[in-house]
């Protein structure tokens, strides 16, 4: 049925021509000062960390980027519009309301989020997709998604992996992949997808709040300038995929391996008993880990998020200095 010419349909966010106009080029980013830009994801605020730690961590991460000479932008979707940066008031609103108000939007959800006017926090995959559309090619997060345990029975693979495969020449700084995952299978998936993996001051793959998973990384660097050289070579060769830079959590707050694994085993049993899976699994397990470690995992999580933001800022500055970005 055609709409009546005298009563046009109610416009949705995507009916507005400017709904994605902020995603054209770096110079279109609102309030941009000219400093190198770093994208920061927002699910850690709405779903990952409890109040008020979520707000404090988000603000500390932005300050850490600034201390490195770059500018951190937290991405999210508000009323169906992608936002490349949030005010302190908006960050606080997201932190206070959390998942009761804000959906969790992965890359696959972006079209629905824009078309239906969602308020949503963006995962790694959604944040990286929106950032690279705006020309922002450096991102920081805590830990990445990957291949979940038990994938042979329930094929649960994070959408982060496919976005990493598509994000040609982008840099993602993290503390490895969340320890709740099947890490050997995740590394195999990265290799298959052509995603480069580089250890910053480490030969081992970190396991989020643990410094080492016992698995090796293909390459090690000691400085942001070395990372910039790898990125430049990656782009010059026209290689597909992102460059994932992994940085271990600070030794002072890292979880002891045995404690972390015992807590994770108990959390996985809880999840199985309660039938938790899919998008709800990661927040559930992280919450259980926080409880079972007496808050130690929360302290480690906050530290690594901020430290990764600081390193991402330094990499963005190094890339700008070489003319790569």
Asked whether the beta carbons of 196 and 221 are under 8 A apart, the reply is: no
- Would you say 156 is a known binding-site residue? yes
Q: For residue 125, which of 112, 138, 144 has the smallest C-alpha distance?
A: 144
Other Cβ atoms less than 10 A from the Cβ of 159: the count is: 18
- Give the CA-trace dihedral at 176, 46, 256, 186, to 10 degrees: -30
- Would you say 166 is a known binding-site residue? no
Asked whether the beta carbons of 73 and 40 are under 8 A apart, the reply is: yes
- Would you say 65 is a known binding-site residue? no
**Cα 28–137–218 angle (5° rounding)?**
180
Q: Which helix (H) or strand (E) holds 43?
A: helix 43-43
Active site amino acids? 41, 178
Residue 68 three-state SS: coil
Q: For residue 317, which of 131, 65, 124 has the smallest C-alpha distance?
A: 65
Give the position of tokens 């600070």.
250
Other Cβ atoms less than 10 A from the Cβ of 8: the count is: 9
Cα–Cα distance for residue pair 314/224, rounded to 1 Å: 6
Q: For residue 220, which of 241, 186, 247 has the smallest C-alpha distance?
A: 247
DSSP category for residue 126: H
Burial letters for 282-301: b for 16+ Cβ neighbours within 10 Å, e otherwise? bbbbbbbbbebbeebbbbbb
Cα–Cα distance for residue pair 49/58, rounded to 1 Å: 10
User: Chain-centre distance of CA 306, in angstroms?
Assistant: 13
Strand 120-122 relative to strand 71-78, pairing? antiparallel
- Would you say 160 is a known binding-site residue? yes
DSSP category for residue 295: T
**From the annotation, which residues make up the binding site?**
104, 124, 156, 158-160
Summarize the annotated binding site for Mn(2+) as residue ranges.
Answer: 156
- Please enumerate, by residue number, every residue annotated as part of a binding site for substrate: 104, 124, 158-160
């Amino acid at each position: 049925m055609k709409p009546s010419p005298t009563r046009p349909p109610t416009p949705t966010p995507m009916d507005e021509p400017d709904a994605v106009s902020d995603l054209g080029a770096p110079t279109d980013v609102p309030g941009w000062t000219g400093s190198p830009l770093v994208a920061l994801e927002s699910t850690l605020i709405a779903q990952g960390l409890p109040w008020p730690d979520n707000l404090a961590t988000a603000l500390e991460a932005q300050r850490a980027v600034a201390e490195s000479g770059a500018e951190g932008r937290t991405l999210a979707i508000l009323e169906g519009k992608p936002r490349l940066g949030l005010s302190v008031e908006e960050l606080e609103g997201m932190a206070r309301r959390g998942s009761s108000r804000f959906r969790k939007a992965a890359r696959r959800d972006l079209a629905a989020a824009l078309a239906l006017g969602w308020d949503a926090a963006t995962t790694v995959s959604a944040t990286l997709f929106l950032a690279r559309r705006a020309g922002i090619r450096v991102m920081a997060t805590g830990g990445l998604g990957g291949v979940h345990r038990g994938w042979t029975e329930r094929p649960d693979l994070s959408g982060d992996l496919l976005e990493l495969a598509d994000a040609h020449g982008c840099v993602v700084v993290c503390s490895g992949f969340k320890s709740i995952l099947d890490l050997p299978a995740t590394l195999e998936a990265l290799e298959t997808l052509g995603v480069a993996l580089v250890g910053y001051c480490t030969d081992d793959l970190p396991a989020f709040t643990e410094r080492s998973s016992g698995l090796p990384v293909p390459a090690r660097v000691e400085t942001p300038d070395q990372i910039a050289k790898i990125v430049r070579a990656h782009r010059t060769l026209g290689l597909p995929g992102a460059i994932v830079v992994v940085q271990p959590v600070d030794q002072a707050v890292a979880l002891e391996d045995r404690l972390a694994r015992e807590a994770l085993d108990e959390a996985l049993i809880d999840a199985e008993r309660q039938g938790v899976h899919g998008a709800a699994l990661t927040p559930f397990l992280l919450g259980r880990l926080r409880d079972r470690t007496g808050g130690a995992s929360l302290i480690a999580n906050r530290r690594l998020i901020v430290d990764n933001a600081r390193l991402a800022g330094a990499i963005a500055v190094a890339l700008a200095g070489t003319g790569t970005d």
